[in-house]
Amino acid sequence: MHHPKPSEGLAYLSLLIVVALLAITAAATLQLGVAIQKREAEEELLWIGQQFRDALVSYANATPPGANRHPASLQDLLKDSRSVIVRRHLRKIFVDPMTRQADWGLVFGVGQSGIVGVHSLSDEVPIKRANFPEALHNLENQEKYRSWTFSVE
């Protein structure tokens, strides 16, 4: 009959502790990776939102007398043919980095006069809650990405 030496049990226990520590480290690394990806997607959403906002301002500034200052659809930002010279205020309809789709929530002006802003359709909670640029101060303390509105008004 074989009697285990005290050092054999200690080696087994040490191995279990090492495996547990590796599992905890792997889980923490995964969580950190997810947080980094979300923060990068947030930064991309802020950049894209500003592109939409700038395009809406450009569209409004290029309005001929008597025409609506706000586009009826986002496609109007891609090709504005309200005057003789066709203008492109936006190069493409961007994909929302939070939903990974090219669908955006639209904000309409008073009396449905046209699009004055866009927002993400994501119900996720943002990581960034403060320290936005002055032009985006309305994003402070918002509970969801859906509330991050990029508008001209």
**Span 18-34, pLDDT tens digits:** 888 888 888 887 888 78
Confidence at 140, pLDDT banded by 50, 70, 90: very high
Answer whether residue 5 shows pLDDT above 80: no
Higher pLDDT, 5 or 44: 44
Mean pLDDT, range 95-119, rounded to an integer: 92
- Would you say residue 112 has pLDDT above 80? no
- Looking at residue 110, its pLDDT comes to 83
**Which distant-in-sequence residues (6+ apart) come within 8 Å of 113 by Cβ?**
68, 69, 70
Alpha-carbon distance of 23 to 87, in angstroms, equals 56
